Amino acid sequence: VQLQASGGGLVQAGGSLRLSCAASGRIFGINLMGWYRQAPGKQRELVAAIASGGSANYADSVKGRFTISRDNPENTVFLQMNSLKPEDTAVYYCNADVKTSLWATWSRYWGQGTQVTVSS
């Protein structure tokens, strides 16, 4: 299973970016999909996660600014980021909890990370 993230870049404060992450490979089912971020010198933190049914959870720091969504048939998760702030600067990683067959257990897979830089 591979996760390919895209959509990062450089944006001014107040701007928007949309991240995408597509899962591919041997996939029987995907439960949770999510986005984490890691800023220099800081621990990786949860940004947002979404269940297969659409229930979502957000970090307090991004509530009201970021929206997570997913396209289940395409095994893709998105993160719409609006009103970006310099403190949102980080490498953003996607993940997915995947079963590769009916009898397999759930395993968490990670994407390669995409850089988001917000200038003041």
43-77: pLDDT as tens digits: 999 999 999 999 999 999 999 999 999 999 999 99
Over pLDDT 70: what percentage of the chain? 100
**Looking at residue 68, what is its pLDDT?**
98
Residue-level pLDDT at 89: 98
Q: In this predicted structure, what is the pLDDT of residue 63? A: 98
pLDDT (mean) for 25-50? 97
Average pLDDT over the chain reads 97
> Cα(96)–Cα(106) distance, rounded to whole angstroms?
10
Amino acid at site 42: K
